[in-house]
DNA sequence: GTGAAAGCGCTAACAG
DNA sequence: CTGTTAGCGCTTTCAC
């Protein structure tokens, strides 16, 4: 891009040494030259404002210092946090990051990933769902890959994943111990292993408190207006569970927020009438009137851990080792959305009115399962 | 990264042609070969799964298909939107994007940008405040640069910028015409040209409605707990403007949200007691109980326009033209946070109680300036 | 239609 | 300590 490109050759000529010596200088091999030569090269480089061409270096060394990060959409806050985690780590290790978003229209994500490989990136962090066969073909080409917050069944590969098990159990247990007697679970369609896993965790954790937790699980249709589907399911929940203190756990934050809207739109209060918690905090949380209780996915950490895994694998070169799986722990944040001060708690309970709409009855009497 | 790298040489040998011919094939110059040769090469490439090395191509062609995007922090929603705008456009033009964040610790952003240039990126989109001299030195090196949502005084350079003038005027005018008689302006310290500009726009637009709009402008200290500073200023505002219907315009969305919290924490309602609007929507907006009125920065568009500008300049090569400045228009969204239904409006007005805390008086009587 | 040869800017044997 | 030479993988004259 510079007007007249300064090359190593020009430096060598001006400094009256060979390209080799300049190259040695560039690579810090000062043992191989006199102090005087070193100084001269130094001066010429400064004078000419010479900068080595990373492309040529890369071609020669088979090292580009480039990694690719493949995400669905950078505008999703968790994705942004993950990317930042990756970038922060990479910068410290002198890598730079090429960003690929997979939910673009008109462009095949596989083409984009292939383009990364053609560029000789030294590794890939995948954080959006990928075709298993495709990823497999990549690993067979010895492309170094780390999966960040996604999994590919039957593929042994470096992975950073969230362990929701303990957190889910604890969240549910704490909600119950707050005095709620039903924790319902709302999930989008169970199309991914991760969602199925989360549901399983919910069911398992709920067993200690409720006899048939399956009845408390709602699969919400994946519609544009999640609002409507949520409203329907919520109504059903309320209907079936009149007289109980209800709490909701949402599989993800979007669903949680849809539910929050539904709850408000029904004229119900959080948490007095319905408590709500969920997974992941999109950063909005602190902006609500009271915070929402969430199991917070440590996206930044997932990113930085994934980057670390990748950089390690890259630097190992031929000396490869078995795939590593890192499980990071989410943080549990219990906040106002699931905590009811004692005096207000004793007065509330939801019932349905004639039109099958929820209304609030002031006298609460605890019932058994 | 592949186990055994397939090169153009291997392809040429297997196909019994020269590297030249294969290269011609790769570059679509089919006129220069027989149909038969073409087919043979095609087959060998498929069989070998050959992929050209983009590094080598770039070295030869002086084209990397890479651009750098320099932002402060990808976790800021507007920044993410901008990056997405850039990426979306670039992908369509077969560019890929290297992401640089400038608010990293321990790493000089200039080093990072220099690293991009060393990589022979074909251009740079800068969207975080930069040192003027540094950018100037880059342009002198003929680095192609587009500024996105930031400006550098006295530097003629391609730029995409938001024009807040009309939008600010309209927003303020509409708030007044809703029936509020004071629109106050809250801004962080006036350390940047952009903030000063915005304040100027506020003052100008307010003159038509209020005699001394300066009295309605509050510069909030830049502290970690913006909350406290906001609370203080808000109290002052309320004190000085007892008996008026107040609205607030916040210079940015963080400030707006801090103010929202302050308002709620004082037990006041939005918009009945204090209306509030601001600049930019971080995507949280729709999650509030009622939406906030905002002048929404079209970050995605800024990004895509900047990318377009850059790609155009790149493709022009030597045939350069004068710097272009594109002004994009923000969208005005008027929502519940500044709109009071008539019947509730007539009953409200804030006054201070003995302790100098605001309280709500039910009888409102309009006062003149 | 096709290929030999030179070279993009750099690094690394190898030889002094 | 230093330089000569070859070559990374590709493209492009130029010649046949």
- How does residue A273 score in pLDDT terms, banded at 50, 70 and 90? confident
* Inter-residue contact A59 to B68 (CB < 8 Å): no
What percent of chain A shows pLDDT beyond 90?
A: 60
Q: Answer yes or no: do A104 and A253 share one domain.
A: no
pLDDT of residue B265: 76
Q: Which pLDDT band holds residue A69 (cuts at 50, 70, 90)?
A: very high
Mutate: best of A48, A55, A257, partner B, most B CBs <10 A: A55
Asked if B120 and A55 come within 8 Å (Cβ–Cβ), the reply is: yes
pLDDT(A362) > 80: no
Q: Are A85 and A303 in contact (CB under 8 A)?
A: yes
Whole-number pLDDT of residue A1: 44
- Domain ranges, residue B31: 8-52
Q: Nearest CA of chain A to the CA of B212: how many Å?
A: 33
Local confidence band at A192 (pLDDT 50, 70, 90 cut-offs): confident
Give every residue of chain B whose pLDDT is below 70, as ranges.
1-3, 224-225, 282-290, 319, 341-369
A264 has a pLDDT exceeding 90: no
Whole-number pLDDT of residue B344: 53
A14/chain B closest Cα distance in angstroms: 21
A5, closest residue in chain B (CA to CA): B141
Subunit contact B75:A74, Cβ cutoff 8 A: no
pLDDT in the model for residue B198:
93
Question: Who among B2, B96, B112 is closest to A98 (CB)?
Answer: B96
Q: Which residues of B touch A75 (CB under 8 A)?
A: 77, 80-81, 84, 283
Q: Please determine, for residue A8, whether its predicted confidence score (pLDDT) is greater than 90.
A: yes
Contacts of A101 in chain B (CB under 8 A): 84, 87-88, 91
Which residue is closest to D11 in terms of CA–C1' distance?
A: B60
CA A195 remoteness from chain centre: 14
- Give the integer Cα–Cα distance in Å for A49 and B157: 23
pLDDT tens digits, residue range A77-122? 899 999 999 999 999 999 999 999 999 887 889 999 999 999 999 9
Do residues A124 and A113 touch, judged by C-beta distance below 8 A? yes
Nucleotide nearest to B18 in CA–C1' terms: C3
Contacts of A18 (CB under 8 A, 6+ apart): A12
A26 touches strand C (CB under 7 A): yes
Q: What is the pLDDT of residue A346?
A: 52
Q: Is residue A312 part of a domain?
A: yes
B56 strand C contact, CB < 7 Å: yes
Q: Residue B322: what pLDDT?
A: 92
- Residue B34: DSSP 8-state: -
Examine residue B367 and state whether it is found in any structural domain, yes or no.
no
Average pLDDT over residues A62-70: 96
Contact criterion met (CB below 8 Å) for B246 and B238: yes
| Whole-number pLDDT of residue A332 | 92
Q: Is the CB of B56 under 7 A from strand D?
A: yes
Nucleotide C1's nearest residue (CA vs C1') is B33
Using a 7 Å cut-off to protein CB atoms, list the covered nucleotides of chain D: 1-13
- Inter-chain CB proximity A73 and B84 less than 8 Å: yes
Q: What is the DSSP string of A73-122?
A: -TTSHHHHHHHHHHHHHHHHTT-EEEEEES--SSS-HHHHHHHHHHTT-S
Residue with tokens 């900068």: A51
Token digits for A21? Answer: 């010596």
Give the count of beta carbons closer than 10 Å to the beta carbon of residue A57.
Answer: 19
Q: Looking at residues A294-305, what average pLDDT do you find?
A: 95
> What does the DSSP assignment read for B180-223?
-SEEEEEES-S-SHHHHHHHHHHHHHHHTT-S-GGGGEEEPP--
How do beta strands B274-279 and A331-333 pair? unpaired
Cβ density class B110-124: b for 16+ within 10 Å, e for less: eebbebbbebbbbbb
Nearest CA in chain A to B117: A1
How distant is the Cα of B306 from the closest Cα of chain A, in angstroms? 17
CA of A7 to C1' of C10 (A): 9
Read off the pLDDT of each residue in A183-203 and give the average, rounded to a whole number.
Answer: 93
User: Cα–Cα distance between A289 and A314 in angstroms, integer?
Assistant: 46
Report d(CA A14, CA A4) in Å as an integer: 15
Residues A205 and A253 in one domain: yes
Q: Report the pLDDT averaged over residues A336-344.
A: 70
CA B347 to chain centre: 40
Contact B122 A92 (CB under 8 A): no
Tell me what pLDDT residue B1 has. Answer: 44
**CA at A20, C1' at C14: how many angstroms apart?**
13
Write down the pLDDT at residue B291: 73
| Token pair in block for residue B286 | 């729709």
H/E stretch holding B241: none
Q: Which of B251, B222, B218 is nearest to B237 (CA)?
A: B218
Mutate to test the interface with A, among B284, B291, B302, B336 (most CBs of A within 10 A): B284
Contact list, B104 vs chain A (CB under 8 Å): 87-88, 91
Are B281 and B201 part of one and the same domain? Answer: yes
B321 and B336 fall within a common domain = no
Residue nearest to nucleotide C2 (CA to C1'): B21
Q: Is the pLDDT of residue A345 over 80?
A: no
| Tens-place pLDDT, residues B114-173 | 999 999 999 999 998 888 899 999 999 999 999 999 988 888 999 999 999 999 999 999
Tokens of B362: 């039910």
Residue nearest to nucleotide D1 (CA to C1'): A33
**Per-residue confidence (pLDDT) for residue B362, from 0 to 100:** 39
CA dihedral sign, ordered A50, A52, A56, A60: positive
Q: How far: A20 CA to C12 C1' (Å)? A: 9
Query: A285 falls in which pLDDT band (50, 70, 90)?
Result: low
Tell whether A157 and A42 lie within a shared domain: no
- Residue B225's pLDDT is 66
Candidate from A59, A81, A261 with C-beta closest to B56: A59
Question: Virtual CA dihedral for B169, B171, B172, B177, nearest 10 degrees?
Answer: 120
Q: How many CA atoms lie within 13 A of A212 on its CB side?
A: 4
Pair of tokens at residue B169: 């005027």
Nearest CA in chain B to A67: B98
Is there a single domain that holds both residue B17 and residue B98? no
Give residue B257's pLDDT. Answer: 80
A118 touches strand D (CB under 7 A): no
| Coil vs helix vs strand at A187 | strand
User: Rounded to the nearest 10 degrees, what angle do helices B299-316 and B77-92 cross at?
Assistant: 40
Is there a domain that residue A360 lies in?
no
What pTM was estimated for this model as a whole?
Answer: 0.87
pLDDT of residue B361: 44
Q: Say if residue B250 is in the same domain as residue B213.
A: yes
Q: Within this chain, do residues A36 and A83 fall inside the same structural domain, yes or no?
A: no
The residues facing B361 across adjacent strands are B349
List the single residue in B1, B107, B118 with the smallest CB-CB distance to A117: B1
CA of B322 to C1' of C10 (A): 35
Q: Specify whether the CB–CB gap between B90 and B36 falls below 8 A.
A: no
Q: Work out if B53's Cβ lies within 7 angstroms of strand D.
A: yes
Q: What is the pLDDT of residue A356?
A: 58
Same domain, residue pair A264 and A319: no
Pairing mode of beta strands B158-162, A325-328: unpaired
* B1 within a domain of the structure (yes/no): no
Sequence-distant (≥ 6) Cβ neighbours of residue A228 within 8 angstroms? none
**Cβ neighbours of B90 in A, within 8 Å:** none
Helix (H, G, I), strand (E, B) or coil at B287: helix
- State how far residue B195 is from chain A, nearest Cα, in angstroms: 24
**DSSP secondary structure string, B1-68?**
--SS---HHHHHHHHTS-HHHHHHHHTT-GGGS-HHHHHHHHHHHHHHT----HHHHHHHHT---EEE
Query: Dihedrals φ, ψ of B159, to 5°?
Result: -145, 145
Residue A39 domain flag: yes
CB A210 within 8 A of CB A244: no
SS3 category, A29: coil
The domain tally of chain B equals 3
Residues of chain A with C-beta less than 8 angstroms from the C-beta of B73: 84
Q: Positive or negative, the Cα torsion across B80, B81, B82, B84? A: positive
Residue linked to tokens 């060394």: A61
The CATH number of the domain holding residue B17 is: 1.10.260.40
Chain A residue at shortest CA distance from B255: A287
Q: What is the pLDDT of residue A365?
A: 32
Q: Are residues B238 and B119 in the same domain?
A: no
* A105 inside domain: yes
Q: Give the pair of three-digit tokens for residue A155.
A: 């593929």
Mean pLDDT value of segment A10-33: 93
Cβ of A143 and B97 within 8 Å? no
Please indicate, yes or no, if residue B276 is contained in any of the structural domains.
yes
The angle formed by the CA atoms of residues B318, B322 and B324, to the nearest 5 degrees, is: 120
User: Which of B73, B83, B257 is nearest residue A287 as measured by Cβ atoms?
Assistant: B257
Phi, psi (deg, nearest 5) at residue B218: -125, 125
**CB nearest A54 (choices: B120, B287, B289):** B120
User: SS3 string of A246-302?
Assistant: EEEEECCHHHHHHHHHHHHHCCCCCCCCEEEEEECCCCCHHHCCCCCEEEECCHHHH
pLDDT of A81 reads 95
Same domain, A90 and A229: no
pLDDT band at A157 (very low <50, low <70, confident <90, very high): very high
Same domain, A265 and A349: yes
B3 falls within a domain: no
Q: Which residue is nearest to nucleotide D12 (CA to C1')?
A: B20
Supply the CATH number for residue A141's domain.
Answer: 3.40.50.2300
Check if residue A20 sits with its Cβ under 7 angstroms from strand C.
yes
Query: Distance in angstroms, CA of A32 to C1' of C14?
Result: 15
The CA–CA distances, whole Å, from B313 to A7, B65, B122, B250, B349 equal: 25, 13, 10, 36, 56
Give the HSE-up count for residue A107: Cα atoms under 13 Å, Cβ half-sphere: 22
- Main-chain dihedrals φ then ψ at residue A185, nearest 5 degrees: -120, 125
C-beta atoms of A112 and B91 within 8 A: yes
């Amino acid at each position: 891009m510079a007007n007249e490109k300064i090359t190593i050759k020009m430096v060598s000529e001006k400094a009256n040494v060979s390209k080799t010596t300049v190259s040695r200088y560039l690579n810090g091999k000062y043992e191989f030259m006199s102090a005087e030569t070193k100084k001269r090269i130094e001066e010429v480089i400064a004078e000419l404002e010479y900068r080595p061409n990373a492309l040529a270096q890369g071609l020669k060394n088979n090292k580009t210092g480039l990694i690719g990060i493949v995400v669905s959409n950078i505008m999703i806050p968790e994705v942004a946090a993950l990317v930042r985690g990756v970038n922060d780590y990479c910068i410290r290790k002198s890598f730079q990051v090429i960003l690929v978003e997979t939910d673009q229209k008109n462009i095949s994500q596989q083409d984009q990933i292939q383009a990364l490989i053609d560029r000789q990136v030294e590794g890939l962090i995948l954080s959006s769902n990928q075709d298993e066969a495709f990823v497999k073909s990549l690993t067979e080409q010895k492309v170094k890959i780390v999966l960040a917050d996604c999994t590919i069944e039957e593929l042994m590969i470096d992975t950073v994943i969230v362990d929701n098990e303990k957190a889910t159990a604890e969240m549910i247990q704490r909600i119950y111990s707050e005095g709620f007697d039903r924790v319902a679970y709302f999930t989008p369609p169970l199309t991914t292993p991760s969602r199925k896993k989360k549901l399983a965790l919910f069911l398992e954790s709920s067993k200690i408190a409720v006899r048939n937790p399956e009845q408390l699980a709602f699969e919400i249709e994946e519609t544009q207006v999640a609002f409507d589907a949520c409203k329907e399911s919520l109504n059903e929940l309320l209907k079936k569970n009149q007289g109980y203190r209800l709490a909701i756990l949402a599989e993800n934050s979007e669903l949680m927020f849809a539910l929050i809207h539904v709850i408000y739109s029904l004229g119900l209060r959080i948490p007095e009438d319905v408590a709500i918690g969920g997974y992941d905090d999109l950063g909005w949380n602190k902006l609500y009137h009271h915070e929402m209780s969430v199991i917070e996915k440590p996206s930044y950490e997932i990113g930085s851990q994934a980057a670390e895994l990748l950089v390690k694998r890259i630097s190992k070169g031929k000396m490869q080792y078995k795939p590593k799986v890192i499980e990071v722990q989410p943080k549990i944040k219990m906040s106002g959305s699931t905590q009811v001060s004692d005096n207000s708690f004793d007065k509330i309970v939801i019932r349905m009115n004639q039109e099958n709409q929820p209304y609030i009855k002031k006298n609460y009497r605890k019932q058994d399962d």
